[in-house]
Amino acid sequence: MKLTKEGIKNTAEWESKGYSLPKFDRAAVEAATKANPFWIHFGAGNIFRAFQANVVQNLLNDGVLERGLVVAEGYDYEIIEKMYRPHDNIGALVTLKSNGSVEKTVVGSIMEALAADSDNQNDWARLLEIFRSPSLQMVTFTITEKGYLLRNAAGVMMPGVEEDFAAGPVLPKSYIGKVVTLLHERYVNGELPVAMVSMDNCSHNGDKLYAAVNEFAQEWENRGVCKPGFLSYVNNASKVSFPWTMIDKITPRPDSKIEKILADDGIEQLEPVITSKKTYVAPFVNAEECQYLVIEDNFPNGRPELEKAGLYFTDRATVDKVEKMKVCTCLNPLHTFLAVSGCLLGYTLIADEMKDEDLLTLVKRLGYEEGLPVVVDPGIIKPRDFIDEVVNIRIPNPFMPDTPQRIACDTSQKLSIRFGETIKGYLGRSDLNVADLKVIPLVFALWLRYLMAYDDSGNAFELSPDPLLDDVRTYVSGIVPNETVAELEKRVGNLLHRKEIFGVDLYEAGLKDLVIKYFSMMIKGTESIRDLLHLIATNSSFIIHSAKI
């Protein structure tokens, strides 16, 4: 049994092992897709394979669609070369349910996989051809929030961007430069309409994509290196749209326990690949059952009936409410709290943290007591129902191999949205008092302690990747146990002023004293983090007192 075109032809064998297989004529779908592509996705990672690819497979199985997906990878080309092509773009999805059962699906909806590499003549030529196609309706993205950045936090241009600004739409090197070059190709071939749809897990994702594309278009027109009128095309909503979306599906790194399940079924060649860029990919993905994708219904060239696969299409205001509900309150902040605390307490599985009475108490306080008061009910999904599912089913799912170390990646990029927006909500309301926020300042203090890179038992650990690590670690360098609050403020005070990290100036918000007090209590010695967490979780009077330092 192999995850290839030939390997899945013995349907009886696969089905006898409990696998759902593609129920459509894959050769016919592939031909139709190549002739008239309708959806190309950038970002060939796990979330795409577990979510969007499976959505399309279900619609192909039901006869709603007759064409499949094209995927392009613009950062780590080895994913295409070493994982997609050897398996004929076919993979296995293992859905992990909270009752311990698994659902096994062979996903075969991806018809082309291309390296978005301007040095790869064949793949680049095919990408240009796809963008010239009048049938193309959707260009979607899961390239992570940092994929849209043209500059780093210090204001320095990301690699390749300045060169792409100067060269125009010719052999681009930066990720967004490639995307805008392809969009320019669509412009010069008839100003064809298309929706550019970020499906990344970040606030107002469509605006982030638009800002990057628009800056490229402005630079190119100003420098006279593109066809005149391209900037107007990018800004003509009847031609190019940048819808907002909210996506939610936990998709951990492919797990060895899942690999064993598949291998025991008789599937061969399951070995994962770790690319030279440290991407970990396997012929299978594992993911939770719950999933949400809410999309602003703004598609200048029409769109497929994705609502028939459970996706929500609505207006921008509703997407914003759902996104804030999830990213700022009901899921992402809880995950970040568990990520940094889990690393410090030596946990390696998020689900195990939910068995920790202190952490469970603080997770509930963070979500229900501190977050929910500022949530606006979006109407299509009830906030309390959503957070109930998160706290009671999704995060505690013992069969989800998700780690605090994975979720701790890029924390500096997440704090402003996951916590800063709630703080702003409190500051902007007369019926709420920012001084009532106790767990959010605790998260900030835990992050400072996390940056010191040793756990509550005194053991060193490796910090998860983060673009600002070298910068922010300077603030905690050299701190020794039992430094006073005043000494700590001299060290970390300037960091707490940084709105781009926390979403607000913690001095102006009135939260810096509590953050520093918590931090000071975490550096007293081994088990000091546990002692503080237990004290806060079990003694609310301590919290109120400590806020008055």
Q: What pLDDT, in 10s, does the model give residues 15-64?
A: 999 999 999 999 999 999 999 999 999 999 999 999 999 999 999 999 99
Q: Give the up-direction half-sphere exposure of residue 156: CA atoms within 13 A in the CB hemisphere.
A: 4
Distance between CA atoms of 196 and 40, rounded to whole angstroms?
Answer: 10
Please write the tens of the pLDDT for every residue from 244-277: 999 999 898 898 999 999 999 999 999 998 999 9
Q: Are strands 273-274 and 280-281 parallel, antiparallel or unpaired?
A: antiparallel
Q: pLDDT tens-digit profile of 496-509?
A: 999 999 999 999 99
400, 252 contact by CB (below 8 A) = yes
Residue 98: the pLDDT is 83
pLDDT of residue 99: 83
Q: Give the three-state DSSP class for 312.
A: strand
Q: Distance between CA 47 and CA 169 in Å, rounded?
A: 29
Distance, in Å, from the CA atom of 219 to the CA atom of 150, rounded to the nearest integer, reads 12
The answer to whether the CB of 196 falls within 8 A of the CB of 209 is yes
Joined tokens for residue 110: 């991806």
| pLDDT confidence of residue 327 | 79
Question: Alpha-carbon distance 482 to 168, whole Å?
Answer: 56
Strands 194-198 and 91-96: unpaired
Sequential DSSP letters for 315-326? -HHHHHHHHHHI
| Both structure tokens of 246 | 């909210």
Residue the block writes with tokens 């979500």: 367
Distance of CA 531 to the CA centre of its chain: 32
pLDDT > 50? residue 174: yes
pLDDT > 70? residue 296: yes
- C-beta separation of 2 from 267 below 8 A: yes
DSSP string covering 215-259: HHHHHHHHHT-S-TTHHHHHT-TTTEE---EEEE---PPPPHHHH
DSSP code per residue over 417-450? IIIIHHHHHHHT-TT--GGG--HHHHHHHHHHHH
Contact between residue 546 and residue 475 where contact means Cβ atoms under 8 Å apart? no
Q: Which amino acid is at 266?
A: G
Closest CA to 354 of 390, 302, 317, 303: 390
Residue 247 CA: distances (Å) to CA of 35, 96, 545: 30, 18, 39
Question: Residue 540: its pLDDT value, please?
Answer: 59
pLDDT digits (tens, 9 = 90+) for 187-241: 999 999 999 999 998 889 999 999 999 999 999 999 999 999 999 999 999 999 9
Percentage of the chain surpassing pLDDT 90?
A: 89
Assign residue 6 a region (left: φ > 0; alpha: ψ between -120 and 50; beta: otherwise): alpha
Q: What's the DSSP call for residue 85? A: G
pLDDT score recorded for residue 97 = 87
pLDDT at 202: 83
Per-residue pLDDT at 438 exceeds 60: yes
| CA-CA-CA-CA torsion sign (50, 55, 56, 57) | positive
Is the CB of residue 55 less than 8 Å from the CB of residue 309? yes
Q: CB neighbours (10 Å) of residue 64?
A: 15
Whether the Cβ atoms of residue 94 and residue 286 lie closer than 8 Å to each other: yes
Cβ atoms of 92 and 283 within 8 Å: the answer is: yes
Q: pLDDT tens digits, residue range 116-153? A: 999 999 999 999 999 999 999 999 999 998 899 999 87
**36 φ, ψ (degrees, to nearest 5):** -140, 70
Structure tokens at 51: 């979510």
Mean pLDDT of the chain: 94
The greatest distance separating any two alpha carbons of the chain, rounded to the nearest whole angstrom, comes to 71
Report yes or no: 29 and 90 within 8 Å, Cβ to Cβ: no
Q: How far apart are CA 166 and CA 226, in angstroms?
A: 10
Q: What is the CA 230 to chain-centroid distance, rounded?
A: 30
- The fraction of the chain above a pLDDT of 70, given in percent, is 98
The SS3 assignment for 273 reads: strand
Query: In this predicted structure, what is the pLDDT of residue 547?
Result: 38
Q: Which residues contact 305 (CB under 8 A, 6 or more apart)?
A: 59, 64
- Give the span between the Cα atoms of 87 and 97, in whole angstroms: 26
The pTM of the full predicted model, rounded to 2 decimals, is 0.82
Q: Check residue 324 and give its pLDDT.
A: 86
Strand-pairing partners, residue 194, are 240
Distances (CA, A) of 269 to 1, 82, 272, 356, 489: 9, 12, 9, 38, 54
pLDDT digits (tens, 9 = 90+) for 334-381: 999 999 999 999 999 999 999 999 999 999 999 999 999 999 899 999
CA distance 368 to 105: 35
